[in-house]
Structure 1
């Protein structure tokens, strides 16, 4: 089972931006697409996130906070609909 933190790391690696107005479906679709492109291995995304945190610490915190909040909302709404 993939955790919210892992999902946020996957979302972090996409081209989606906090300014995009996306539905929960679009967010989950983008996360699924990225996971597939990484062979289903969230560790690849975690390594990318670590690199970005080192290279761009000034933007890392805000983007990760957005990613965490976004996946929490997107996946909570999916569970509530099930």
Structure 2
């Protein structure tokens, strides 16, 4: 993972964090994109996703940290590889 995260990567990871996909799973690219779209739509946008993430960190920090690491890695693996291929 990189030391800095783009705003788009962070927003995607937050949306994936709030999705129904289980932590540790290796979802297909289609499943990830659908989960992100659904999370953003049902939570009123990326701010709603961020608010839900913050709530989980407040209520269950022991579960939230590993879930965010998973979500961020899935997002970086999926979208990072697309940028590498385009360059």
Which TM-score band applies after superposition, normalised by the shorter structure? 0.7 to 0.9
Kindly indicate whether structure 1 or structure 2 has the higher relative contact order, using CA contacts under 8 Å at least 6 residues apart: 1
Contact 2:20 2:35 in 1 (8 A): no
Contact 1:9 1:49 in 2 (8 A): yes
Q: C-alpha deviations, 1:40-63, integer Å up to 9, x for none? A: x20000000000000001111100
Structure 2: segments with no counterpart, 5+ residues: 1-6
Distance (whole Å) between structure 1 residues aligned to residue 73 and residue 52 of structure 2 = 19
Say what the alpha-carbon RMSD is for the aligned residues: 1.8
Distance (whole Å) between structure 2 residues aligned to residue 81 and residue 37 of structure 1 = 31
Q: In the alignment, is residue 42 of structure 1 matched against residue 42 of structure 2?
A: no
Q: Structure 1 residues 81, 37: closer, same or farther in 2, change over 3 A?
A: farther
Distance (whole Å) between structure 2 residues aligned to residue 43 and residue 36 of structure 1 = 11
Q: C-alpha deviations, 1:18-39, integer Å up to 9, x for none? A: 2433112211121112222234
Distance (whole Å) between structure 2 residues aligned to residue 62 and residue 42 of structure 1 = 20
Distance (whole Å) between structure 2 residues aligned to residue 78 and residue 57 of structure 1 = 31
Structure 1: segments with no counterpart, 5+ residues: none
Contact 1:24 1:73 in 2 (8 A): no
**Alignment: residue pair count:** 80
